[in-house]
Amino acid sequence: MGLIEDEVNEVSRLCCNVIPNSKLITCMTSLIRVDINQTNSRQLTVCLRFPDEYPKNKLLTEFKSRSMSITFLERFTKVCDDKAVEFVGKPQVMGLLKFVDTYLRENPLCIVTEEIFNVKKLLSVTSGDLKLRQKSSSILLTAKGGPFYISAKFHVPEQYPVERIQWDDCDCNLPQALVRFVNGQAKEIARQCVEAPLKKLKTNPEFQPKPSLERTFRFIIAAMKGFPEELCPSCEKLALPSTSQAVVETDADDNFLIRMFCGHIYHQGCLKKFMSEPPFPPGGKICPAKRKHPRSDRNHCGARKQSVSDKSELCQQRVTHDKWGLNDVKSAEAKWAHQQARVRELEEVIDFLQ
């Protein structure tokens, strides 16, 4: 008899041939249920019901997915609802299924909808910009802090989140030392999302890869926001200059910046002075910064969580850097003693001459 029965028969005949990687789970006049499996992360179950007075009215559509976010499913339901208007008055099921399949294929970033949504929310209170490139499955992030910016194109691979987001170069007007830090640390964060730590692998073999996009972007955005406000712990003036043109890239300059293991950024001249003058504590020089750095290397190495007694505001980490090892402190101490001896000698000479 009915138009609906004819359509159900046609769907059961055509569905799997017309829509690649689809599986017809239920095909009845009360419900049509189709699984679409494009990739591990682009998996969707489409549930369709025929409304009263079909096909004058739109099909009732519902989506379920284990891999895709609620945010995406809610938005996508609206998109499909709008699209369904075009099919009113004729058989709708195959048209709608084809639309769903094509949409997922042409919008590969749909698997990061929720993360993009959260990053956009964050960018609305800091400064920066996101541009989506669905065709190449990539996202252009620009994060800003004062006169400084970083901008890079991040690719979301088909096997995301099992594989991490990827990027090559970034465009950035910070001093090179800071560009290297942001880029390197961001890569490390993304890597840790998908690779189990070697130690943990033995005790906990059930490592689950985590989505890397939002975590990585949050780090970059926070770092960029923080840089222009950071003080050199030694002179307590802003570490970065007030314009990007004034950035110093020659490491002979006193205003050349050095980022220490504790996360704080020193002017090279201030650091040299600080390292070469007393006191010389036995364990090495301690960073005098008034607060702990939120992006210290220690935090990111996961070396140890801060204990309750460790919550003091001061940095108090040993000042270490490839350029300024413990030996430098010892030789600085010796140099200082030598200089002081010279000063005393000179004073004696002056005394003698008077």
Q: What is the DSSP letter of 284?
A: -
Give the helix, strand, coil percentages of the chain, each rounded to 5: 45, 20, 40
The alpha carbon of 153 is separated from its chain's Cα centroid by a whole number of angstroms, namely 12
As measured in angstroms, the least distance from the Cβ of 247 to Zn ion is 15
As measured in angstroms, the least distance from the Cβ of 231 to Zn ion is 8
Q: Would you say 143 or 260 has its CB closer to Zn ion?
A: 260
Closest CA to 78 of 108, 103, 43: 103
Q: Would you say 191 or 323 has its CB closer to Zn ion?
A: 323
Q: Would you say 42 or 285 has its CB closer to Zn ion?
A: 285
Tokens of 123: 């960018």
189 backbone dihedrals φ, ψ, rounded to 5°? -65, -45
As measured in angstroms, the least distance from the Cβ of 177 to Zn ion is 14
What is the contact surface with Zn ion in residues (CB under 5 A)? 232, 234-235, 262, 264, 267, 270, 287, 289, 315
Q: Would you say 101 or 230 has its CB closer to Zn ion?
A: 230
Cβ–Cβ under 8 Å, residues 202 and 154:
no
Q: Would you say 95 or 228 has its CB closer to Zn ion?
A: 228
Q: Would you say 109 or 262 has its CB closer to Zn ion?
A: 262
As measured in angstroms, the least distance from the Cβ of 144 to Zn ion is 24
The alpha carbon of 69 is separated from its chain's Cα centroid by a whole number of angstroms, namely 18
Cβ–Cβ under 8 Å, residues 179 and 169:
no
As measured in angstroms, the least distance from the Cβ of 253 to Zn ion is 12
Q: How far apart are CA 126 and CA 173, in angstroms?
A: 18
Closest CA to 143 of 215, 231, 213, 219: 219
The CB-side HSE value for 66 (13 A sphere, CA atoms) comes to 5
Q: Would you say 144 or 267 has its CB closer to Zn ion?
A: 267
Q: Would you say 216 or 320 has its CB closer to Zn ion?
A: 320
As measured in angstroms, the least distance from the Cβ of 183 to Zn ion is 21
DSSP 195-251: S--HHHHHH---------HHHHHHHHHHHHHHGGGPBPTTT-SBSS-SSGGG----T
Q: Would you say 152 or 262 has its CB closer to Zn ion?
A: 262
* Cβ burial, residue 298 (10 Å; 0-12/13-18/19+): middle
Helix H or strand E encompassing 27: strand 22-27
As measured in angstroms, the least distance from the Cβ of 299 to Zn ion is 12
As measured in angstroms, the least distance from the Cβ of 220 to Zn ion is 21
Q: Would you say 108 or 233 has its CB closer to Zn ion?
A: 233
Cβ–Cβ under 8 Å, residues 221 and 143:
yes
**Residue 118: beta bridge partners?**
none
CA angle, corner 266, sides to 262 and 269, nearest 5? 145
Tokens of 87: 């099919």
As measured in angstroms, the least distance from the Cβ of 233 to Zn ion is 6
